[in-house]
Structure 1
Amino acid sequence: MSIRTILFDLDGTLIDTNELIIASFTHTLNNHYNLDYTREQIIEFNGPPLIDTFKNIDPDRVDEMIEVYRKHNLSEHDNYVKVFPNVKETLDILKERGFKIGIVTTKMTESVNRGLKVTGLQDYFDTIVTLDDVAHPKPNPEPVIKAMKDLDAVANSTLMVGDNSHDIESGQCAGVKTAGVAWSFKGKERLLRLNPTYMLDDMRDLLQIVGV
């Protein structure tokens, strides 16, 4: 069955928040708590929910660390965030052709809405599933399944697009097709090892995949 529904991760897939995320982790861990994390180590924290990352670092100070991170992230947000190349053009065409499109993210609703507003993407999506909407975030399939339910979509005509292992695994567990993006901060090769159905070198590659 051909693809009719496309679900996107947000950060690192549609909008470039990579440097914001690194700055927020650096501020929290190195500046605020005087820990000594390298940029390479911090890149690895990009993707999983904050609670998982900070639980591994210091289980006793998880809530405190999340608060420091989020405060910095929101105060610096608008200085960093921008849309990746050819995202808007691709979304315009998908909307024109009647595809259902949604977002599935591990971020909270407030920061998702802010990112969409700053980048002018707020009116494109038919559903947005955030950390606030699920009991089990990606890589669990629950968020992808919820988005499909919202859109009356079926797995064999749905595609999940993302820049992180969590996106690919969540999609695979939900039984949908998956696409990695070559501009993933952690590198294309790492995503290819997860055997996504497709790999996008440019967001416009998506149009060819869905037959536009």
Structure 2
Amino acid sequence: MKALLFDFDGTLLDTNELIIQTFMHVLEERFPGQYSPKDCINFIGPSLKETFEQLTPNEVEEMIEKYRQWNEAHHDELVKEFEGVVPTLEQLKEQGIRLAIVSTKRKDTIEKGLNIMGAKHLFEFWIGTDDVKRVKPDPEPVLLAIDKLGVSKKDVIMIGDNYHDIEAGKNAGVKTAGVAWSLKGEQFLQQFNPDYMLQHMSDLLTIVKES
């Protein structure tokens, strides 16, 4: 295995609480008393455009802007690192494994999270919603990453915490890995048949060695 593509939110950085609280803030203002934090878990994974097209089809851009303003204002206080992520990434990088991010958030927000983690230097690039016309589960962002890396599909794994990541990897023709620390749960991800299920980030060290 030569290259690993990572989703960002909920995979490399624990942004779950930030996302849930942001959705609660904007939805409580627009639909008082109609949504709970548990409801908001369903909005983790899809792009903001997809989510608000379903919830407020006539106010998509306005709701996205409100979401981003609150999210950015509270970002640093509500995100936290997943245990073992950065040390594992450092080891993979030392072994010559190429690392990139394929996310459904904007590039500047990905960079903000990477700076908090101190992990910006470990990735060759990050692909966000501003780089593509179609987001995961469409294969476009994964295929773009493969093209930028210049590697064969057989040497790539797409890793994520949501079905969008698994489906995008499959649609692009690469191997896939789910993460057991997904907020939606390991059992939820297993139904999409990823090639691997990571119980801990360090599992990647074994997978890379054996594949």
Classify the TM-score, shorter chain: over 0.9
1-side partners of 2:145 and 2:61: how far apart?
Answer: 28
Which of structure 1's runs of 4+ aligned residues deviate more than 2 A? 31-35
1-side partners of 2:93 and 2:44: how far apart?
Answer: 29
Question: Aligned partner of 1:198: which letter?
Answer: Y
2-side partners of 1:97 and 1:202: how far apart?
Answer: 19
Partner residue, 2:81: 83
Q: Alignment partner for residue 10 of structure 2, among 9, 12, 16?
A: 12
Q: Alignment partner for residue 209 of structure 2, among 191, 194, 211?
A: 211
Partner residue, 2:66: 68
Q: List gaps (5 residues or longer) in structure 1.
A: none
2-side partners of 1:35 and 1:9: how far apart?
Answer: 32
Instruction: Work out whether 1:157 is the aligned partner of 2:163.
Output: no
Question: Aligned partner of 2:29: which letter?
Answer: N
Q: CA deviation at 1:38?
A: 1.5
Question: Aligned partner of 2:16: which letter?
Answer: N
* Mapping for residues 13-162 of structure 1, pairs under 5 Å: 13-34=11-32, 36-162=34-160
Q: Which moved more, 1:32-41 or 1:120-129?
A: 32-41
Please report the TM-score for the alignment, with normalisation by the length of structure 1: 0.97
DSSP-derived class of the 1:145 partner: helix
* Mapping for residues 184-199 of structure 1, pairs under 5 Å: 184-199=182-197
2-side partners of 1:128 and 1:101: how far apart?
Answer: 9
Identity, % of aligned positions = 47
Q: CA RMSD in A?
A: 1.0
Question: Aligned partner of 1:121: which letter?
Answer: A
Q: CA deviation at 1:144?
A: 0.5
2-side partners of 1:135 and 1:185: how far apart?
Answer: 27
Q: CA deviation at 1:109?
A: 1.2
CA contact (8 A) 1:81 1:119 kept: no
Q: CA deviation at 1:34?
A: 2.3
How many residues are paired up? 210
Q: CA deviation at 1:35?
A: 5.1
Question: Aligned partner of 1:167: which letter?
Answer: D
Question: Aligned partner of 2:110: which letter?
Answer: V
Please report the TM-score for the alignment, with normalisation by the length of structure 2: 0.97
CA contact (8 A) 2:21 2:37 kept: no
Partner residue, 2:169: 171
Q: List gaps (5 residues or longer) in structure 2.
A: none
CA contact (8 A) 1:8 1:160 kept: yes
1-side partners of 2:160 and 2:2: how far apart?
Answer: 17
CA contact (8 A) 1:102 1:127 kept: yes
